[in-house]
């Protein structure tokens, strides 16, 4: 009954009020009528809810929001985890018109991560949204935080060009990056060319006993501000359970699938602590054979 | 298609049945019955083995395993002093059926530490039936045969309402003792029976005095059974059997058993009316649950502590009946179905790390639905023909996502199975003269791969030191088997000789897969189960039961088996030539018995399976019995010395060449009222 007045107003405020004031005896009849109307409208709005598409940010956690000056949009930044760890971090950006509050699904977004260490600054690998059209109202993008915030402070400058009004502006977001218990970000200096490579473990996120997808991303540091994806290396994967001294069968070496991402299969024969050994080659030249990721589940 | 096959199978029996005439006695020459309480299933003719076995049961200190091992067809695979796994003519594991009262019981241990034989104490056992070849598959598709242990039933007693037996015994080799008791109560239409046995055994000493560590065990077995006599022809029976074993050592394995429990329950209805066409039938529903917890906490130098629990749950039902078609023909039929859930896992603990967990038997369910029929006809007064056939539909499925994920590691997209098993045999027996009878049979049978063979996940086999991995695509193993026997009877003397030859195809065995890395620390490698094209097992048994004078019995059995694979390599776990000879002199209330056990060297060994040669041995045992009655109680005393010469020896089927017990002095008293 608590919702009755609200529903009543929704159903037709004037009629409801008039009848109630003029004739108290009619109160019960009107009340019943109003309930019927309210329920009908209630059901209508309910069924409308079902038709409505689900919230695109469901399952995501909002990290921050802010107005992008010049672009006339409000920006919301989401991720799946809610905290940011060093390594490959995937973000989802939602844009709204700062006046109407409507979604802005057409925008060119460019990222620029920056680590300020006081004495020096450097950037990091990143992936801008693949398209200026939002995917389910969101713009997925990624930044590879190659170190935690303990050494300095991380910011990500998000440049937004609102394609609905062709206005452009940028928002710089400060982010705190923590180091996870098991590192998902490694780097090495290649023995064959002296290049500095950064590798990130993207998958498995939720490892299980059985077949798992493994995905890593490889980047090469060209300068402090340039960290392009690298597809020149071949990867050999050797899972190992150091406590027991055994590996696992039928693994598939990750192969390049684009943008420096390499995808393969890793088998875990039991839960516990596993080491994913990764050897990198360029042609027949060994780039590095010391890298590994720890996984414990 | 399968249903049509089954229907035709049944129809053909019915049709055959009409064309024949009457026989008086259903006979089955490939059955051995060990009648422990002088009760024998009347559908099966007494043969020389009954006498032989009645002889051995007279030593009431004997355990079920003692009795089993004295049957020429049976050998025991030994991993410790407890839970020896029966092998019929060198067929074991999934090649044979081990049933309790016709019920299927699947062990919950991935290492076969818990064969169903451990749940039956001699006090619970009414008789023991070992069936090979021609009728071995009557109660379940099998290529090796069936051991069925019939549980003791409550007795209806005329004079007394309440009777009981209390017995107690001690054995010196393991400083072990047992206490057991039985109570029977009967009224007009009801009869109840309760029994319990407690056994405690310490480490035993082998010949020469060495103590065999981790050979101890402790167990409690109890049963309750109630019988209601509805009328002269029908009774209803309910049985409950429980067995708890704990602190069970397995010297030949890297782990022991902390706790093993079994709960076995059944309700059955039995009917017999010899004036009717179907003169005997029974129906039974049953359920059992076995759980098994391995334990390594008492072992020194364990590289990594692990828990290995296993669970098996089975429910099932069967109906069987015997029909007198006419004067010369009888038909026995059986229909049964069962469903078994199996799951076993291993968790290893490394301090500072998350536990390492995996399924060693990925959760799976096996369904089994079969019908069988056996038709016996007397062609003339000396010639008898028996046809037996059975068809089974077997289904296997993985029941959890975790199980499916694990099996997918080896690239199997679907691991579920649906198979039809076919078994058929024909047996002809001919009375050549009054004293001489010859029997020959040919049979074809198939068996399903076991859960371990299909889904086993790095199951460590301490016998060859390999981790074993199941293959869900294994083919059914099958066997063509020929059996010939000659029986000579003269007065109370009987001599029988049996020869058998089995030609196996798609024989299932482990093959080294060098691409796989071991899981068990220190293992030699990994083997995957595969079908090899063919293998053969052949051999003979002979038994003699002689009674030169009224108070003297001589019993002697010999057995020999050999097996080879497609390349001619010997198969593993084949016992060498063995002879058992017993001499009993029983002038009155005292009996004196001398027994010898002779085993030749086994040099036909499977090096691939990690075997080595086993030396010959000769043992001598002596037993003394005294029976009397004090007031209204019967008192029976048994004393004896086994392995008199304290010989240090082991058998070829013993894992790890662990020496068997040395000189063992035992004493036992049994009081009945």
CA distances from A55 to A49, A58, A65, A106, A142 (A): 11, 5, 17, 18, 21
Rounded distance, CA B99 to CA B281, Å?
Answer: 18
Rounded distance, CA B146 to CA B96, Å?
Answer: 6
A233 Cα to chain B: minimum distance (Å): 26
Rounded distance, CA B540 to CA B170, Å?
Answer: 36
Q: What is the mean pLDDT of residues B4-19?
A: 39
Is A269 in Cβ contact with B457 (below 8 Å)? yes
Query: Residue B373: CB partners within 8 Å, gap ≥ 6?
Result: B9, B10, B13, B331, B332, B333, B334, B388, B389, B390
Closest residue, chain B, to A249 (C-alpha): B516
A117 and A17 together in one domain: no
Cβ-based interface (< 8 Å): residues of B facing A: 304, 346, 348, 350, 353-359, 402, 404-406, 408-411, 457-458, 515-519, 521
Tell me which H or E stretch contains A14: helix A4-22
Confidence of residue B57 (pLDDT cuts 50, 70, 90): low
Nearest to B353 among A209, A243, A250 (CB): A243
Confidence of residue B301 (pLDDT cuts 50, 70, 90): confident
Q: What is the ipTM of this complex?
A: 0.82
Q: Which of B72 and B237 is assigned the larger pLDDT?
A: B237
Tokens of A56: 């695109």
Tokens of A226: 């340039």
Confidence of residue B8 (pLDDT cuts 50, 70, 90): very low
**Is A280 inside any structural domain?**
yes
Q: What is the mean pLDDT of residues B602-626?
A: 93
Closest residue, chain B, to A211 (C-alpha): B409
Confidence of residue B31 (pLDDT cuts 50, 70, 90): very low
CB atoms within 10 A of CB B536: 18
A210 Cα to chain B: minimum distance (Å): 5
Q: Which of B512 and B37 is assigned the larger pLDDT?
A: B512
A241 Cα to chain B: minimum distance (Å): 9
Closest residue, chain B, to A238 (C-alpha): B517
A222 and A259 together in one domain: yes
- The length of chain A in residues reads 297
Tell me which H or E stretch contains A51: helix A27-51
Nearest to B354 among A245, A269, A273 (CB): A273
Give A245's contacts in chain B (Cβ within 8 Å).
521
Is B348 in Cβ contact with A208 (below 8 Å)? no
A67 and A145 together in one domain: yes
Tokens of A33: 């009528």
- The length of chain B in residues reads 673
Question: Whose structure tokens read 């004090």?
Answer: B630
**Is A13 inside any structural domain?**
yes
Question: Whose structure tokens read 């859930």?
Answer: B341
CB atoms within 10 A of CB B198: 17
Nearest to A243 among B346, B350, B517 (CB): B350
**Is A200 inside any structural domain?**
yes
Q: Would you write out chain A's pLDDT as a tens digit for each of its 297 residues? A: 333 444 444 444 444 445 444 555 666 666 666 766 666 555 555 554 555 678 888 999 999 999 998 888 999 999 998 889 999 999 999 999 988 999 999 999 999 999 999 889 999 999 999 999 999 999 999 999 999 999 899 999 999 999 988 999 999 999 999 999 999 999 999 999 999 999 999 999 999 999 999 999 999 999 999 999 999 999 999 999 999 889 999 999 999 999 999 999 999 999 999 999 999 999 999 999 999 999 999
- Dump pLDDT digits (tens) for B279-299: 999 999 999 999 999 989 999
Give A269's contacts in chain B (Cβ within 8 Å).
358, 406, 409, 457-458, 519
B357 Cα to chain A: minimum distance (Å): 5
A165 and A237 together in one domain: no
Rounded distance, CA B415 to CA B392, Å?
Answer: 19
Give B411's contacts in chain A (Cβ within 8 Å).
250
- Dump pLDDT digits (tens) for B100-121: 999 999 999 998 889 999 999 8
Tokens of B486: 């000659």
Query: Among A25-29, B88-92, B270-274, where is mean pLDDT lowest?
Result: A25-29
Closest residue, chain B, to A268 (C-alpha): B409
Give B405's contacts in chain A (Cβ within 8 Å).
208-211
Is B353 in Cβ contact with A273 (below 8 Å)? yes
- Dump pLDDT digits (tens) for B581-590: 999 998 888 9
Task: Give the largest CA-CA distance in chain B.
Answer: 79
Q: What is the CATH number of the domain that holds A245?
A: 2.60.40.10
Is B402 in Cβ contact with A211 (below 8 Å)? no
Q: Which of A54 and B602 is assigned the larger pLDDT?
A: B602
**A60-76 residues labelled b (16+ CB within 10 A) or e (exposed):** beebeeeebeebbbbbb
What pLDDT, on the 0 to 100 scale, is given for residue B469?
A: 95
**Residue that finishes a domain, picked among A132, A160, A178:** A178
Rounded distance, CA A195 to CA A215, Å?
Answer: 22
CB atoms within 10 A of CB B403: 22
Res B18 pLDDT > 60: no
Give B344's contacts in chain A (Cβ within 8 Å).
none
**Is A56 inside any structural domain?**
no
Is A271 in Cβ contact with B410 (below 8 Å)? no
CB atoms within 10 A of CB B441: 23
Give B307's contacts in chain A (Cβ within 8 Å).
none
Nearest to B515 among A249, A272, A296 (CB): A249
A9 and A83 together in one domain: no
For the whole model, what pTM was predicted?
0.85
- Dump pLDDT digits (tens) for B437-484: 999 999 999 999 999 999 999 999 988 999 999 999 999 999 999 999
Rounded distance, CA B243 to CA B258, Å?
Answer: 14
Is A247 in Cβ contact with B358 (below 8 Å)? no
Give B357's contacts in chain A (Cβ within 8 Å).
209, 270-272
Tell me which H or E stretch contains A49: helix A27-51
Task: Report the number of distinct structural domains present in chain A.
Answer: 3
Do A150 and A187 meet the contact criterion of CB atoms below 8 Å apart? no
Give B458's contacts in chain A (Cβ within 8 Å).
269
Give B410's contacts in chain A (Cβ within 8 Å).
249-250
Rounded distance, CA B519 to CA B461, Å?
Answer: 12
Rounded distance, CA B97 to CA B75, Å?
Answer: 14
The residue range of the domain holding A17 is 4-51
DSSP 8-state class, residue A3: T
Name which of A208, A244, A295 to mutate to probe chain B: the one with the most chain B Cβ atoms within 10 A of its Cβ. Answer: A244
**Is A254 inside any structural domain?**
yes
Query: Residue A228: CB partners within 8 Å, gap ≥ 6?
Result: A125, A219, A220, A222, A260
A23 and A82 together in one domain: no
Q: What is the mean pLDDT of residues B20-34?
A: 38
Give A250's contacts in chain B (Cβ within 8 Å).
409-411
Is B406 in Cβ contact with A209 (below 8 Å)? yes
Burial class (CB in 10 A: 0-12, 13-18, 19+), B349: middle
What pLDDT, on the 0 to 100 scale, is given for residue B25?
A: 33
Is B357 in Cβ contact with A209 (below 8 Å)? yes
Give A246's contacts in chain B (Cβ within 8 Å).
517-519
Tell me which H or E stretch contains A4: helix A4-22
**Residue that finishes a domain, picked among A144, A178, A212:** A178
**Is A126 inside any structural domain?**
yes
Confidence of residue B72 (pLDDT cuts 50, 70, 90): confident
What pLDDT, on the 0 to 100 scale, is given for residue A8?
A: 40
What pLDDT, on the 0 to 100 scale, is given for residue B54?
A: 67
Name which of A269, A270, A277 to mutate to probe chain B: the one with the most chain B Cβ atoms within 10 A of its Cβ. Answer: A270
Rounded distance, CA B61 to CA B67, Å?
Answer: 10
Nearest to B410 among A208, A243, A249 (CB): A249
Q: What is the mean pLDDT of residues B312-325?
A: 95
Do B424 and B479 meet the contact criterion of CB atoms below 8 Å apart? no
Per the prediction, chain B carries an average pLDDT of: 89
What one-character-per-residue DSSP string does B235-281 give?
Answer: EEEEEEEEEEEEEE--TTSS-EEEEEEEEEEEEEEEEE-TTSSEEEE
Domains annotated on chain B, with CATH? 2-330+340-672 (2.40.170.20)
Is B348 in Cβ contact with A267 (below 8 Å)? no
Nearest to A271 among B354, B404, B409 (CB): B354
Distance of alpha carbon B5 from its chain centroid, rounded? 30
A150 and A242 together in one domain: no
Confidence of residue B592 (pLDDT cuts 50, 70, 90): very high
Rounded distance, CA A173 to CA A155, Å?
Answer: 5
A196 and A274 together in one domain: yes
Q: What is the mean pLDDT of residues B349-358?
A: 94
Confidence of residue B68 (pLDDT cuts 50, 70, 90): confident
Whether the bond between A204 and the residue before it is cis, its omega within 30 degrees of 0, is yes
What pLDDT, on the 0 to 100 scale, is given for residue B256?
A: 93
Res B9 pLDDT > 60: no
A171 Cα to chain B: minimum distance (Å): 42
| Structural Rg of chain B based on CA atoms | 25
A71 and A172 together in one domain: yes
Q: How many CB pairs under 8 A join A and B?
A: 75
B309 Cα to chain A: minimum distance (Å): 16
Cβ-based interface (< 8 Å): residues of A facing B: 208-211, 241, 243-250, 267, 269-273, 296-297
Is A244 in Cβ contact with B348 (below 8 Å)? yes
A275 Cα to chain B: minimum distance (Å): 13
Nearest to A208 among B348, B405, B521 (CB): B405
A78 and A168 together in one domain: yes
A30 and A9 together in one domain: yes
**Is A291 inside any structural domain?**
yes
Write out the E strands in chain A: 61-68, 73-79, 84-85, 87-97, 107-116, 121-122, 126-127, 139-145, 153-162, 167-175, 177-178, 185-189, 196-203, 210-221, 234-240, 252-258, 261-268, 273-282, 285-296
Closest residue, chain A, to B514 (C-alpha): A249
**Is A288 inside any structural domain?**
yes
Do A230 and A260 meet the contact criterion of CB atoms below 8 Å apart? yes
Closest residue, chain B, to A296 (C-alpha): B354
Is B304 in Cβ contact with A243 (below 8 Å)? yes
Closest residue, chain A, to B458 (C-alpha): A269
What pLDDT, on the 0 to 100 scale, is given for residue A45?
A: 52
A225 and A263 together in one domain: yes
Give A182's contacts in chain B (Cβ within 8 Å).
none
Do B126 and B151 meet the contact criterion of CB atoms below 8 Å apart? yes
Tell me which H or E stretch contains B401: helix B401-408
Do B87 and B95 meet the contact criterion of CB atoms below 8 Å apart? no
- Dump pLDDT digits (tens) for B176-185: 999 999 999 9
A164 Cα to chain B: minimum distance (Å): 48
């Amino acid at each position: 009954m608590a919702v009755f007045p609200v529903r009543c107003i929704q159903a037709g405020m004037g009629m409801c009020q008039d009848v109630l004031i003029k004739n108290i005896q009619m109160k019960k009849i009107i009340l019943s009528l109003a309930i019927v109307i309210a329920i009908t409208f209630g059901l209508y709005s309910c069924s409308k809810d079902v038709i409505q598409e689900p919230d695109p940010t469901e399952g995501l956690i909002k990290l921050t929001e802010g107005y992008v000056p010049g672009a006339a949009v409000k920006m919301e930044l989401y991720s799946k985890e809610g905290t940011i760890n060093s390594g490959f971090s995937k973000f989802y950006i939602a844009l709204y018109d700062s006046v109407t509050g409507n979604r802005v699904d057409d925008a060119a977004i460019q990222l620029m991560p920056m680590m300020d260490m006081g004495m020096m600054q450097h950037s990091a690998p990143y992936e801008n949204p693949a398209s200026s059209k939002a995917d389910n109202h969101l713009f997925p993008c990624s930044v590879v935080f190659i170190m935690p915030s303990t050494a300095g402070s991380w910011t990500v400058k998000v440049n937004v060009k609102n394609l609905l009004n062709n206005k452009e502006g940028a928002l710089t977001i400060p982010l705190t990056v923590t180091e996870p218990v098991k590192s998902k970000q490694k780097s090495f200096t290649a023995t064959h060319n002296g290049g500095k490579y950064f590798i990130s473990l993207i998958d498995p996120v939720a490892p299980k006993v059985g077949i798992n997808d493994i995905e890593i991303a490889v980047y090469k540091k060209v300068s402090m501000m340039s960290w392009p994806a690298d597809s020149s290396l071949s990867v050999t994967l050797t899972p190992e359970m150091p406590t027991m001294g055994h590996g696992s069968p039928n693994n598939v070496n990750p192969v390049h699938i684009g943008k420096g991402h390499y995808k393969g299969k890793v088998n875990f024969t039991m839960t516990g602590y596993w080491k994913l050994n990764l050897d990198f080659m360029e042609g027949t030249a060994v780039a590095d054979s010391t890298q590994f990721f720890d996984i414990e589940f | 298609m399968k249903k049509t096959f089954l229907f035709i199978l049944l129809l053909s029996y019915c049709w055959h049945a009409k064309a024949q005439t009457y026989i008086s006695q259903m006979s089955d020459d490939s059955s051995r019955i060990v009648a422990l309480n002088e009760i024998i299933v009347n559908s099966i003719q007494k043969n020389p083995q009954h006498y032989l076995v009645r002889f051995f049961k007279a030593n009431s200190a004997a355990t079920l395993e003692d009795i089993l091992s004295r049957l020429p067809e049976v050998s025991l695979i030994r991993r410790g002093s407890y839970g020896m796994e029966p092998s019929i003519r060198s067929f074991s594991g999934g090649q044979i059926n081990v049933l309790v009262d016709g019920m299927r019981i699947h062990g919950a241990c991935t290492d076969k530490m818990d064969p169903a034989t451990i749940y039956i104490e001699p006090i619970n056992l009414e008789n023991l039936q070992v069936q090979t070849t021609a009728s071995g598959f009557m109660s379940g598709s099998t290529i090796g045969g069936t051991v069925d242990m019939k549980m003791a039933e409550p007795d209806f007693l005329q004079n007394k309402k309440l009777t009981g037996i209390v017995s107690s015994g001690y054995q010196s080799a393991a400083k072990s003792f047992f206490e057991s008791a039985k109570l029977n109560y009967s009224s007009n239409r009801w009869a109840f029976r309760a029994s319990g046995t407690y056994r405690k055994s310490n480490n035993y000493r082998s010949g020469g005095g060495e103590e065999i560590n981790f050979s101890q065990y402790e167990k409690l077995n109890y049963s309750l059974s109630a019988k209601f006599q509805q009328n002269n022809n029908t009774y209803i029976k309910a049985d409950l059997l429980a067995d708890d074993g704990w602190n069970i050592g397995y010297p030949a394995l890297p782990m022991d058993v902390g706790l093993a429990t079994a709960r076995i329950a059944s309700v059955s209805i039995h009917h017999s009316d010899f004036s009717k066409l179907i003169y005997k039938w029974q129906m039974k529903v049953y359920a059992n649950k076995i759980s098994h917890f391995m334990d390594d906490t008492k072992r020194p130098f364990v590289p990594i502590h692990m828990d290995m629990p296993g669970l098996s749950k089975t429910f099932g039902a069967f109906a069987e009946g015997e029909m007198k078609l006419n004067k010369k023909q009888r038909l026995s039929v059986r229909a049964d179905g069962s469903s078994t859930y199996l799951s076993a896992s291993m968790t290893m603990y490394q301090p500072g790390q998350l536990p390492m967990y995996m399924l060693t038997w990925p959760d799976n369910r096996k369904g089994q639905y079969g019908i069988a029929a056996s038709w016996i006809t007397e062609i003339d007064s000396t010639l008898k023909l028996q046809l037996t056939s059975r068809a089974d539909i077997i289904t296997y499925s993985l029941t959890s996502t975790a199980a499916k994920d694990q099996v997918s590691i080896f690239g199997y997209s679907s691991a579920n199975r649906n198979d039809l098993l076919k078994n058929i045999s024909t047996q002809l027996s001919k009375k050549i003269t009054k004293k001489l009878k010859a029997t020959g049979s040919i049979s074809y049978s198939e068996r399903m791969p076991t859960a371990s063979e299909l889904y086993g996940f790095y199951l460590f086999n301490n016998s060859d030191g390999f981790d074993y991995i199941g293959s869900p695509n294994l083919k059914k193993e099958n066997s063509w088997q020929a059996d010939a026997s000659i029986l000579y009877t003269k007065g109370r003397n009987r001599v029988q000789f049996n020869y058998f030859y089995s030609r196996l195809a798609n024989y299932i065995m482990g093959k080294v897969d060098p691409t796989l890395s071991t899981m068990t620390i220190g293992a030699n490698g990994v083997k995957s189960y595969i079908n090899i094209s063919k293998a053969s097992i052949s051999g003979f048994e002979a038994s003699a039961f002689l009674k030169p004078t009224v108070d003297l019995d001589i019993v002697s059995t010999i057995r020999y088996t050999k097996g080879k694979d497609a390349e001619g390599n010997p198969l593993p776990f084949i016992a060498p030539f063995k002879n058992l000879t017993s001499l009993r002199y029983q002038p009155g209330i005292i009996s004196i018995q001398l027994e010898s056990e002779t085993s030749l060297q086994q040099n036909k060994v499977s090096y691939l399976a990690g075997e080595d040669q086993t030396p010959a041995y000769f043992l001598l045992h002596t037993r003394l019995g005294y029976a009397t009655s004090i007031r209204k109680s019967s008192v029976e005393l048994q004393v004896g010395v086994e392995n008199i010469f304290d010989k240090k020896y082991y058998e070829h089927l013993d894992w790890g060449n662990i020496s068997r017990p040395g000189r063992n002095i035992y004493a036992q008293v049994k009081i009945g009222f």
